[in-house]
């Protein structure tokens, strides 16, 4: 029954896609430099008072802001091996990922899930590879866990009266790096097959591929019309997360639900010139949603770092 439903859904998606549109190179960039700066600074400035005091220092806030676009710098300035490997870390095409089933918590389980689907649906195998569907939530979660581990070591160093400066640098780096992927997830286009032009059945006449819809939003409209204060003003109150992965995926799905809204705004000229009040509000709210999620993940990492994990060799390898 499940296979039948999946096959019908895939047919409804792919019937409106040409092979060329499915195989278009997927952009790694979500908000451009300014958008990632805004997200990271807003999150750092909104951290609660009970996080380590160094995170509130101007030096840490500035560093976290600077690191917002860091993975894009790797793509632009690094070699081809790095670029090819990192590109799928920035997005997940939920339209395709959901064909294989619910997203598992771990990257390798997700890769195995896609591989299993490819075996049973060989005619669709080329579209369900990890590098095409994307790895976005796993990128975010793995950097998050690095941050939590560094915060745990910070607590240990405080107790043993060791120098905390080295681990403070690590925490700042991980927090800034995490901000990039969380920021990417806030852009609806980074969750959809319609990532740079509408490729599904298009009765509403949304802009198709070849018009750089993605770049117009992030690199032209945003820096010209959105300010740091617009983003910071809408950051929500701090909310520690209970199940980080589940709540992060819910955040991605909320972003995904706004894909068509993004194209409606673009069609009405919302991302041309000064745009419209609605497009300015929409873009500011997506950036603020990303900043709120980033702040909550940093805060959650600090809270959870108070709990010591069992040594690795004693842990259940299936956890």
- Over residues 134-173, the pLDDT tens digits come to 999 999 999 999 999 999 999 999 999 999 999 999 999 9
- Taking residue 3's Cβ as centre, other Cβ atoms within 10 Å add up to 10
Model confidence over 42-66: pLDDT tens digits? Answer: 999 999 999 999 999 999 999 999 9
Q: Which residue in the block uniquely carries the two structure tokens 């220092």?
A: 57
Q: What angle do CA 273, 64, 257 make, to 5 degrees?
A: 50
- At 309 the pLDDT is 65
Ranges 26-30, 201-205, 283-287: which has the least confidence: 26-30
pLDDT for 238 beyond 70: yes
Here the tokens at position 140 are: 């975010």
Q: Which is higher by pLDDT, 204 or 5?
A: 204
Of 183, 192, 204, 212, nearest in space to 283 by CA: 183
pLDDT band at 218 (very low <50, low <70, confident <90, very high): very high
Q: Are 154 and 55 in contact (CB under 8 A)?
A: no
Q: How many helices (H) and strands (E) does the chain have?
A: 17, 0
Residue 88 pLDDT: 95
Mean pLDDT to the nearest integer, 248-273:
97
Give residue 106's pLDDT: 97
The per-residue pLDDT for 130 is 96
List domains and CATH numbers for the chain: 2-12+34-92+134-189+213-307 (1.10.575)
Determine how many CB atoms are found less than 10 A away from the CB of residue 165: 9
Pick the range with the lowest mean pLDDT from 28-32, 185-189, 288-292. Answer: 28-32
Per-residue pLDDT band for 311 (boundaries 50, 70, 90) equals low
Banded pLDDT at 32 (limits 50, 70, 90): confident
Q: Which residues pair with 92 in a beta bridge?
A: 134
Contact 307, 315 (CB under 8 A): no
Distance CA 29, CA 39 (A): 14
Q: How many CA atoms lie within 13 A of 119 on its CB side?
A: 6
* Angle between helices 32-45 and 277-304 in degrees, nearest 10: 50
**Over residues 260-288, mean pLDDT:** 97
E strands in the chain: none
Q: 267-271 long-range contacts, Cβ below 8 Å, gap at least 24?
A: 267/204, 267/205, 267/206, 267/207, 271/213, 271/216, 271/217, 271/220, 271/221
Residue in 40, 29, 38 with CA at minimum distance from that of residue 172: 40
Res 18 pLDDT > 50:
no
Within 8 A by CB and 6+ apart from 153, the residues are: 167, 170
Q: How confident is the model at residue 126 (pLDDT cuts 50, 70, 90)?
A: confident
pLDDT at 17: 40
Q: Is the pLDDT higher at 278 or at 85?
A: 278
pLDDT of residue 50: 97
Residue 113 corresponds to which tokens in the numbers above?
A: 């899930």
Token reading at 291: 């900043």
pLDDT digits (tens, 9 = 90+) for 5-17: 434 434 444 444 4
| Residue from 210, 211, 218 nearest 190 by CA | 218
């Amino acid at each position: 029954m499940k296979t039948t439903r999946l096959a019908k859904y895939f047919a409804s998606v792919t019937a409106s896609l040409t092979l060329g549109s499915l195989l278009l190179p997927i952009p790694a960039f979500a908000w451009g430099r300014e958008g990632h700066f805004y997200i990271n600074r807003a999150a750092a400035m909104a951290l609660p008072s009970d996080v380590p005091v160094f995170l509130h220092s101007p030096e840490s806030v500035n560093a976290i802001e600077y690191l917002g676009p860091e993975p894009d710098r790797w793509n632009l300035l690094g070699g081809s091996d790095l670029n090819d490997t990192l590109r799928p870390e920035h997005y997940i095409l939920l339209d395709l990922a959901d064909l294989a089933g619910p997203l598992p918590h771990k990257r390798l389980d997700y890769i195995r899930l896609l591989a299993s689907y490819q075996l049973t649906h060989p005619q669709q195998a080329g579209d369900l590879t990890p590098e095409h569907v994307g790895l976005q939530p796993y990128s975010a979660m793995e950097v998050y866990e690095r941050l939590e581990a560094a915060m745990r070591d910070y607590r240990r160093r405080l107790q043993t009266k060791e120098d905390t400066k080295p681990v403070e640098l690590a925490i700042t780096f991980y927090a800034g790096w995490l901000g990039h992927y969380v920021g990417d997830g806030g852009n609806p286009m980074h969750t959809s097959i319609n990532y740079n032009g509408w490729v599904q059945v298009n009765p509403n006449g949304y802009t198709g591929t070849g018009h750089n819809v993605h770049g117009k939003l992030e690199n032209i409209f945003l820096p010209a019309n959105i300010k740091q204060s617009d983003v910071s003003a809408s950051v929500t109150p701090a909310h520690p997360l209970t199940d980080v992965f589940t709540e992060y995926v819910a955040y991605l799905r909320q972003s995904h639900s706004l894909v068509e809204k993004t194209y409606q705004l673009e069609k009405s000229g919302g991302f041309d010139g000064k745009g419209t009040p609605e497009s300015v509000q929409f873009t500011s709210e997506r950036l603020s949603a990303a900043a709120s999620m980033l702040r909550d993940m940093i805060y959650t990492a600090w809270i959870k770092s108070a709990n010591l994990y069992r040594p690795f060799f004693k842990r259940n390898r299936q956890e």
